[in-house]
Structure 1
Amino acid sequence: MSATTGGLLVLIIFIQVSISTSQNTDRVALQALKHVWQGTPLSWDEGTDPCSGGWVGITCTNSRVTSIILSSTGLTGTLPGDIGQFTELQILDLSFNTGLRGSLTPAIGNLAKLTNLILVGCSFNGPIPRTIGNLERLRILSLNNNGFSDSIPATIGNLKNLYWLDLSANELTGSLPVSDGVQPGLDNLTHAKHFHLGDNQLSGVIPPTLFNANMSLIHLLFENNHLRGSIPSTLGLVKSLETIRLDRNSLRGDVPSNINNLVNVTEMYLSNNLLTGPIPNLTGMHLLNYLDLSNNSFSQSDIPSWFSTLESLTTLKMRFTNLAGELPAALFSIPQLQTVDLSNNRINGSLDISLDPSTQLELVDLRTNLISDFPGSRQYTMDYLILVGNPICTESDMMGQKFCNLPTITPAPYATPWNNCAPPPCGSDLVASPNCQCAYPLVGSFFFKAPAFSAVTNLTIYDSLHNLLMSFFRNATLPVDSLSLSNPSRNLEDYLVIKLQVFPSGQPSFNRTGIIGVAFSLSNQSFKPKTDFNTYTFNAEIYKYFSDSGPGGAKRKTSNTGIIVGSAVGGCVLVVLLVLAGVYAVRQKGRAEKAVQQSQSFALWDPTSQSGGVPQLKGARSFTFEELRKCTSNFSETSMIGTGGYGNVYKGSLPNGQLIAIKRARQGSTQGGLEFKTELELLSRVHHKNVVALIGFCFDQGEQMLVYEYIVNGTLKDSLSGRSGIRLDWTRRLKIALGAARGLQYLHDLADPPIIHRDIKTNNILLDQRLVAKVADFGLSKPLSDVNRTHVTTQVKGTMGYMDPEYYMTQQLTEKSDVYSFGVVMLELITARNPIEKGKYIVREVKQAMDKNKELYNLHDVLDPTIGLSSQLKGLEKFVDLSLMCVEERGNQRPSMSEVVKELESILTFVGLNPGSEPSSSTSASYEGVGKDYSHPYSNDSLFAYSGGFMPQKLHPK
């Protein structure tokens, strides 16, 4: 054999071995995913080769895995680092699996050939890894509707081929990254057409360098964040733009004068900001369908001349914009006009709608203006006009006119009609399809973020959407028999929400292959609606009814080929399994050693110290000092979020991405040691959604640390004082009061043993990302023993202003002491005042100001002015009555916490709220500024708590 031939043979063998090794790597990685995930398809249990064995959701090319698509299949678990082994992977879609959680592994950056990364509607959290910037072939990046936090990684600017960027509906903070010569930024994404970053907590200014004339953007969606500063004039350079949403931020200053350069814009939302200066000149924007400039502080301006020249307009919303002057009749003759909302301005003179008004008009809202004349008003019979609050409606002969009274608007319901058949009765969870077949549909909701129309009652447009969807599913040869659209409505973000049900073809339920096909077509934006509906996101519910037949169901018979293949790879698989078994054994040994370590965690505890005996725990995790040091970058100053007499508090991130708050006692602090033991023992026993969760502790290298869940929105005190930037309206305060009361009731009635908190105050009530209240800080708490279930005789401790006067006088601590403190919290909720302020005590001030014979008990002067208008404070009198019952002088005259909870539930029902529902993170109208970084609640404001000794008499409540 010649040297050349021998070398060629060696090269061939090397290539074959390399290919075989890569194939085995994919198989091992898939087995690792199967080990981590629950709910994988049954076909994954058949054979060891996913490429020849037909594993559902796996596509291979040349025996290498090139796509993993498992959307809406009910997966649970985390995304392990093994995902980084699929070096040929091009598509990864795990959308609509809410059971997938934890952080996004940095190993995702190893997928160099990935073009589509789609993780819509899962439960991933923690930061988006910087390594995502390594995916230079990526075209679609959809991480929306998760819980991702921290800032947008600047490395996304490396994704030069990106077409679709959707990070909306997460908990992202920080500023928008732009290139600075050192790091890349979003301005580098000149080929991207979609920036969807709305419904986050992004802050800072919109950098002028974010926009440039080379960009291809058509959708810019930054709505519902905390962006401030002015709208940069460079926005006018991006002439490809079609949709702009900058609403629900804190943008200030003038709208750039060159905004009308964007002649391709069809939808523009700038509402609910702090914009000033002149109303922007939109002359020439002839494609504009939907315009909302409402709730800004523009300087008073006459009606703009462009009002009646935008011939494509369907919707004009400019309430609270300081408009003045007389409306041109031509405005109402724009052919497609559906909605005009110019309420709460200074529009005056005569109203003329006589010139052939648009046949599509559904609403003209001109309430609270200065209109004094309406020619032909007595012959005017249309339902869509509102003139309440104008001078014309004060005239005696006009008061009975329909337009001088607020209408009761009940949108016409819509549902896809039956297809010339009678719907049959369907049992269990079966649903009748439009073709009158009982089946288990895939259910989800479309969120159209910038539709070209406002009239949700225009039923023909939904028929059009139905036909477009059905044509798409048929052309894609997906197993869809029929579909139903229903319940169109506008939510608080002004998105059009429509429920979708997709019914399977030929059988009562989908198999996994069918579900994957339908879900992927929507998560991957393969379905393109016509321009009326514009951009959308789709969120599917978990599908539980997979059929037992077909590729996703019952196990297939193994063919002879399968046996041969199985035999051929059996040896390799056996080796792999032995390796995995060895790794598993090592891990189990590590876990066992860790368990032993936890049981011995307090070997160095000094029972003779003031902290008492060794803590008795139920399930708290033991952390080493080294683990927590890594979580906090060596307890760096940038990680520190609070400080106090107990010590410092640090924000950290566990390896799985979970955010934590670490309360670290100062060395040698005996008071800290006692609080450490008390909180550790009590919180390891309690588990309730309205009580802050203890994750673990560290008693290592002389350190005493408590590890809690990180509560992103801080303390109730910070929100009431304005430090957090969160604005709490009346209904939100009611829900917070109920949540905190439920937490306290749990401690009193259901904890074993019952617990008296002893330091209830607004600094010890935390608000999570949904503004759900959580009771925190158990350093002063006392359990009630079986021997004495009524009270504990103990040294007086607590916080002045919240302290029960009976407990102070008798030193007998009871559950009613917490009730008293909670009553003070209730008064603080309505006044936003400190319990003791300038020598005045909140309880006494409210009692002295009260007059039950007057509106709102005559408490207008002490109410928090940001709580809402007087007309919105329904149930306030009942709330005040309950709070004053809680702060009765004698404990036996106060209600129990269970009685407080029942009364608060009754108040919520009275004001029309569901006491059983949790607040939604999407209800942005109820609060602002969520998630800002500031002094953290775990800084233990009990440091200023009263711990016995002299209590100044002037602060004692009377």
Structure 2
Amino acid sequence: MELSPWLFMFSVLVKASVIMADTNGQDTAGLIGIAASWNTHPSNWVGNDPCGEKWIGISCTGDRVTSIRLSGTLRGGKPGTLSGDIQSLSELQLLDLSQNKNLGGSLPSSIGTLSNLQNLVLAGCSFSGEIPQEIGQLSQLIFLYLNSNRFTGPIPSSLGRLSKLYWLDLGENMLTGGLPIFDGTNPGLDNLTNTKHFHFGVNQLSGTIPRQIFNSNMKLIHLLLDNNNFSGSMPPTLGLLNTLEVLRFDKNSQLSGAVPTNINNLTKLAELHLENNQLTGPLPDLTGMSSLSFVDMSNNSFNASDAPSWFTALPSLTSLYLENLGIGGQLPQALFSLSAIQTLRLRGNRFNGTLNIGSGFGTQLQKIDLQDNQIAQITVTGTPYDKQLILSGNPICEQGSSEKYCKTTGQSNPAAPPYTTFKNCAGLPPTCLSSQLLSPSCTCAVPYRGTLFFRAPSFSDLSNESYYLLLEKDMKAKFLLHQAPVDSIALQNPFIDVSNNLEMSLEVFPSGKIQFGEQDISDIGFILTNQTYKPPPVFGPYFFIAQQYLFQNEVVASKSKKNSMPLIVGVAVGGAVVVAVLLALIVIIAKRKRKTHNTEERSQSFASLDMKSTSTSIPQLRGARMFTFDELKKITNNFSEANDIGTGGFGKVYRGTLPTGQLVAVKRSQQGSLQGSLEFRTEIELLSRVHHKNVVSLVGFCLDQGEQMLVYEYIPNGTLKESLTGKSGVRLDWKRRLRVILGTAKGIAYLHELADPPIVHRDIKSSNVLLDERLNAKVSDFGLSKLLGEDGRGMVTTQVKGTMGYLDPEYYMTQQLTDRSDVYSFGVLLLEVITAKKPLERGRYIVREVHTALDRSKDLYGLHELLDPVLGAAPSSLGGLEQYVDLALRCVEEAGADRPPMGEVVAEIERITRMAGGGAESASESMSYPSRTPRHPYGGDSPAEYSSSGLPSSRVEPK
């Protein structure tokens, strides 16, 4: 077929553009194919010359792409995948896509064709499925980071072919099966004699640990097999790993048998974790292991013995944890005099006789826990020990003893509050925008935030700020060494998590600017994830999980723009330009016609709200601003996918930035949404009335061009529900939960008691409680709310609406709505907060579950099985829980008159918070936490509505 003249010219231009480009055509095609499988890509990925145009994250040698570094730079939208087009980049040496949670799916087997690849860094993504066997073909691979994903299935035996591998990290996945070894045909992990890091913790690996897996030729320094399901015994070949520095076998509940007697060959070992297994035989002899700093062998079944001699022969020991092992005899005084010792946790043994700490105890010794032993006396010589000593459960603590060491709480030196980096502000600190935080240098900026997980720290005194000051200084120096534009580092809230990792929040602030660019984030993410940064030795191995960073000008290239890349080169050719412009004009005109048609249709359906003559149909405004459609279109970048932060029953929610710099959330309705015009008007009217720090603020709304949109303050940490279910990455311990629930209660109490007239929310639930950057709770979603008291009564007859599981049974039966209906919903929320369970799931109702399990004669009222495991089950760490449960059950009394008013609820939660040692302040006054991009914090769950004309399809039985 003969080409028309302009098509012929177009084909010539395309060919010429490839010839003139600095990048190999195969590599260009591969990158374009990869980008097509993502919903977003860096802002300057346009054109057809990645090398010449210096695409963000792309490095080249000559005309070939040799490095892709895009850590944390792919934002928003639905999850993307890694396309099989990756095989086109045959010269690729480094691939870093880490910290992109919206990148998932299965890894393509074609990744095994990248014969030059040395670094494969996919940590902190959402990849799933099995790890491809083809990765074993990457013969040049040195670093393999696949941790913190969702991989399932076995560890590929083909990894044993990676003879140059230095670091192998498969932790924090869902891998199953055993550890593969060489079977005469297929390779195994025992072939990896040059590898120094085996990080396999927090998976579902099982089976016995084969003795062949370890040999004297191996150079392992980190062996992490914790938090799995291994069974059988520890192999004696473990003693051949004389280079080992960190060993974790903890939390393998079926691991049994004796510890190999040659374990003390590991003279370089610094951290030894064997706790929470079923190990038997004699207590291991650790004589000669002079490098040991941290030892935990608690909760095993070793043969009972007296205190071993090696107790006092470990000069580097900071932490000795030997709980519930049945060890007897008298504790040697020299144990307390070890120069580095910080913590002794020896509860649940048979230590007896006289406790003599002496006067020469170590200056760093902060805690001695000897609960539940057989100590009959204590001798005090010289300067008494004035730190934390716990002897409850020993004969010395007779019933009624008033000695402070006989109490499990209220010690003379309780743990210091979590560390927070000091802000160096002279005088009054500046007021930052909602999207910014105050840096340690006392400047306002948008930090890169995330969480550091240290897998084997060598210290246990978390109150010693010298460790964190050292880490801050060292980390900043390393960033500057790698020329990252970093001004300062902030660390916050260190704690030991359920996996026995030291976890702390990290904030990295930019230097010389308010906000990091895409390349900056890529560089910082690479430094932290690819272990380019090495922390001080006391912190041990770590991994990093980032929060999504919000770039100031996020640009998403549409498919039409991708398809028009080759036309850019033809700008100088007049004919091609004319044709392109004409075509573009035709498309634009057609789209505008369609848009006008759609807008007219929507305007007709919307007229009932904003065009009626009756005053009651027009929102009554008190301070909310009216936006035009064009204004909101501009601040959300034309409602781009990059700014899409979730979907609720009302429609989509978009992030936007006002000209003032304020971040907002724009909730845009869609045709057929579950929230109608009445709810839309209700929310505008009510939120424009209320102003409280625990109620989400309405910035404005839009009634322009047939649109109905609500504009709220932007709340970065999502919903309470997402935190309780672990979806948000925000961890809430007991004190944090109390502060969040206190803020929620204050918000509801304001609606009931200070708003004029009073307001009943009618849909209190965990997905309608938002958490800001400092975990300050904000009550949201007022679409179902009602005003009370306008007629002098405290109730109103109304159609029953609410959400299944939280609904007040009295309101449902009588259709009489009072403020005590909110109290009932709040009581359900109280129970949800401590259990992290849905109120109603598979026929199990949380109120009934708690009533059934409740036993007030036991610790924590016997609710151990119902409590969220994240909270832990130690009564001493859950101060005030019993009073909390009592309050919750008062709130869910069947009769509304028997429920306390919210003002009384607030006072009681403040008292409980003080009992827990957290003070009565709200979260905003006490802490901050790395924020995240919420999925749909403004839409909430679609409320289950109940008509007063009949029963719901599956009725809730509250008790």
Per the alignment, residue 433 of structure 1 pairs with: 439
1:71 aligns with 2:74: no
**1:372-408 per-position Cα deviation (integer Å, ceiling 9, x unaligned):** 1111279735022111111112187763567786527
**1:647-694 per-position Cα deviation (integer Å, ceiling 9, x unaligned):** xxxxxxxxxxxxxxxxxxxxxxxxxxxxxxxxxxxxxx99xxxxxxxx
Per the alignment, residue 40 of structure 2 pairs with: 39
Per the alignment, residue 177 of structure 1 pairs with: 180
CA contact (8 A) 2:518 2:551 kept: no
1:292 aligns with 2:293: no
Per the alignment, residue 463 of structure 1 pairs with: 469
1:411 aligns with 2:428: no
**Secondary structure of the structure 2 residue equivalent to 1:149:** strand
- Structure 1 distance, partners of 2:373, 2:208, is 34
Alignment of 1:599-748 (within 5 A): none
CA contact (8 A) 2:95 2:121 kept: yes
- Structure 1 distance, partners of 2:766, 2:467, is 42
**Which residue of 345, 349, 361 maps to 1:345?**
349
The verdict on how the C-alpha distance between 1:321 and 1:349 changes in structure 2, with shifts beyond 3 A counting, is same
1:210 aligns with 2:213: yes
**1:799-852 per-position Cα deviation (integer Å, ceiling 9, x unaligned):** xxxxxxxxxxxxxxxxxxxxxx646x98789989xxxxxxxxxxxxx9xxx9xx
Query: Counterpart of 1:222 in structure 2: which amino acid?
Result: L
**Secondary structure of the structure 1 residue equivalent to 2:201:** coil
CA apart distance, 1:856: 7.4
CA apart distance, 1:463: 1.1
CA contact (8 A) 2:357 2:385 kept: no
CA contact (8 A) 1:199 1:225 kept: yes
1:27 aligns with 2:32: no
- Structure 2 distance, partners of 1:240, 1:362, is 31
**1:15-71 per-position Cα deviation (integer Å, ceiling 9, x unaligned):** xx99999921111111112222233122112x2110111111001112111111000
CA apart distance, 1:512: 1.2
1:370 aligns with 2:374: yes
The verdict on how the C-alpha distance between 1:284 and 1:381 changes in structure 2, with shifts beyond 3 A counting, is closer
CA apart distance, 1:421: 3.8
Per the alignment, residue 816 of structure 1 pairs with: none
CA apart distance, 1:345: 0.7
CA apart distance, 1:749: 11
1:159 aligns with 2:159: no
CA contact (8 A) 2:839 2:847 kept: no
CA contact (8 A) 1:511 1:553 kept: no
CA contact (8 A) 1:330 1:355 kept: no
Per the alignment, residue 134 of structure 1 pairs with: 137
- Structure 1 distance, partners of 2:20, 2:289, is 58
Per the alignment, residue 118 of structure 2 pairs with: 115
**Secondary structure of the structure 1 residue equivalent to 2:144:** strand
CA contact (8 A) 1:151 1:175 kept: yes
**Secondary structure of the structure 2 residue equivalent to 1:392:** coil
The verdict on how the C-alpha distance between 1:75 and 1:137 changes in structure 2, with shifts beyond 3 A counting, is farther
Structure 1: runs of 5 or more not aligned: 1-16, 555-561, 578-684, 687-731, 733-737, 751-769, 778-820, 833-845, 887-892, 895-906, 915-958
CA apart distance, 1:497: 1.6
**Secondary structure of the structure 2 residue equivalent to 1:108:** helix
Alignment of 1:526-925 (within 5 A): 526-546=532-552, 566=569, 822=844, 855=857, 874=882
CA contact (8 A) 2:171 2:202 kept: yes
CA apart distance, 1:460: 1.2
Query: Counterpart of 2:31 in structure 1: which amino acid?
Result: L
Per the alignment, residue 340 of structure 2 pairs with: 336
> For structure 1, which segment, 255-264 or 199-208, has the greater mean C-alpha deviation from structure 2 after superposition?
199-208
The verdict on how the C-alpha distance between 1:242 and 1:81 changes in structure 2, with shifts beyond 3 A counting, is same
Alignment of 1:154-553 (within 5 A): 154-250=157-253, 251-376=255-380, 380=384, 382-394=386-398, 399=403, 407=411, 409-419=414-424, 421-422=426-427, 424-428=429-433, 429-546=435-552
**Secondary structure of the structure 2 residue equivalent to 1:291:** strand
Query: Counterpart of 1:54 in structure 2: which amino acid?
Result: K
- Structure 2 distance, partners of 1:473, 1:748, is 50
- Structure 1 distance, partners of 2:257, 2:227, is 18
Using the size of structure 1 for normalisation, the TM-score is 0.59
Structure 2: runs of 5 or more not aligned: 1-17, 558-564, 581-672, 675-736, 738-764, 768-800, 808-834, 897-907, 919-959
**Secondary structure of the structure 2 residue equivalent to 1:99:** coil
> For structure 1, which segment, 431-440 or 309-318, has the greater mean C-alpha deviation from structure 2 after superposition?
431-440
Query: Counterpart of 1:150 in structure 2: which amino acid?
Result: G
CA contact (8 A) 1:509 1:547 kept: no
Per the alignment, residue 804 of structure 1 pairs with: none
The verdict on how the C-alpha distance between 1:441 and 1:185 changes in structure 2, with shifts beyond 3 A counting, is same
**Secondary structure of the structure 1 residue equivalent to 2:543:** strand
Q: Which runs of 4+ in 1 moved over 3 A?
A: 17-22, 395-406, 418-424, 562-570, 744-750, 770-777, 825-832, 854-857, 863-882, 907-914
1:86 aligns with 2:92: no
- Structure 1 distance, partners of 2:166, 2:572, is 41
The verdict on how the C-alpha distance between 1:869 and 1:82 changes in structure 2, with shifts beyond 3 A counting, is closer
CA apart distance, 1:885: 11
CA contact (8 A) 2:806 2:839 kept: no
CA contact (8 A) 1:875 1:910 kept: no
Query: Counterpart of 1:134 in structure 2: which amino acid?
Result: Q
CA contact (8 A) 1:512 1:553 kept: no
CA contact (8 A) 2:390 2:405 kept: no
Query: Counterpart of 1:448 in structure 2: which amino acid?
Result: F
CA apart distance, 1:424: 3.3
- Structure 1 distance, partners of 2:115, 2:572, is 28
- Structure 1 distance, partners of 2:318, 2:333, is 16
CA contact (8 A) 2:388 2:414 kept: no
**Secondary structure of the structure 2 residue equivalent to 1:252:** strand
Query: Counterpart of 1:186 in structure 2: which amino acid?
Result: L
**Secondary structure of the structure 1 residue equivalent to 2:36:** helix
CA contact (8 A) 1:546 1:553 kept: no
- Structure 2 distance, partners of 1:109, 1:92, is 13
**Secondary structure of the structure 2 residue equivalent to 1:195:** strand
Per the alignment, residue 629 of structure 1 pairs with: none
Query: Counterpart of 1:273 in structure 2: which amino acid?
Result: N
CA apart distance, 1:531: 1.0
Per the alignment, residue 899 of structure 2 pairs with: none
CA contact (8 A) 2:227 2:250 kept: yes
CA apart distance, 1:201: 1.3
**Secondary structure of the structure 2 residue equivalent to 1:471:** helix
- Structure 2 distance, partners of 1:385, 1:748, is 45
1:105 aligns with 2:108: yes
- Share of identical aligned residues, percent? 41
- Structure 2 distance, partners of 1:336, 1:19, is 66
Per the alignment, residue 762 of structure 1 pairs with: none
> For structure 1, which segment, 376-385 or 479-488, has the greater mean C-alpha deviation from structure 2 after superposition?
376-385
The verdict on how the C-alpha distance between 1:530 and 1:423 changes in structure 2, with shifts beyond 3 A counting, is farther
- Structure 1 distance, partners of 2:572, 2:107, is 32
Query: Counterpart of 2:60 in structure 1: which amino acid?
Result: C
- Structure 1 distance, partners of 2:38, 2:550, is 16
CA contact (8 A) 1:398 1:404 kept: no
CA apart distance, 1:479: 1.1
The verdict on how the C-alpha distance between 1:220 and 1:334 changes in structure 2, with shifts beyond 3 A counting, is same
- Structure 2 distance, partners of 1:22, 1:479, is 29
CA contact (8 A) 1:739 1:772 kept: no
- Structure 2 distance, partners of 1:468, 1:870, is 38
